[in-house]
Amino acid sequence: MFEYKFGGIVIAKAGHDKGEYYVILKAEGEYVYLADGIYKTLDKPKKKNIKHVQFTHYTDENLMKKVANNEKIIDEEIKRAIKIIKKSVSKDDSLDM
């Protein structure tokens, strides 16, 4: 089983946002709260069942460091993290949905 924790990158497997990348803000039971920095911001995260997301094994180290140092995170940093992951993950990668 995967550990859903802050800073992890997931891909939506179901819903109108299928295929979209998100950063996990927090996990509560069978739900995760997600942000993309654009439509789903830190102020209004998306609540999604963990059955409907695919864990990518990627985390953003910059976000993790900021949380460890109790620094404020902004939506631009969420967007940057997703952009970096999208560039590093090729379409031929084994992230089957």
Which single residue is written with the structure tokens 């949380």? 67
pLDDT digits (tens, 9 = 90+) for 47-81: 999 999 998 888 888 888 998 899 999 999 999 99
What is the C-alpha to C-alpha distance for residues 97 and 91, in angstroms, rounded to an integer? 12
Say whether pLDDT at 92 is over 50. Answer: no
pLDDT score at 19:
94
- 1 falls in which pLDDT band (50, 70, 90)? low
Read off the tokens for 51. Answer: 């059955």
- Indicate the average pLDDT of the chain: 87
Say whether pLDDT at 42 is over 70. Answer: yes
Q: Which residues pair with 20 in a beta bridge?
A: none
pLDDT score at 9:
92
* Domain 8-88 in this protein, CATH class: mainly beta
What are the structural domain ranges in the chain? 8-88
46-49 and 21-28: which strand pairing?
A: unpaired
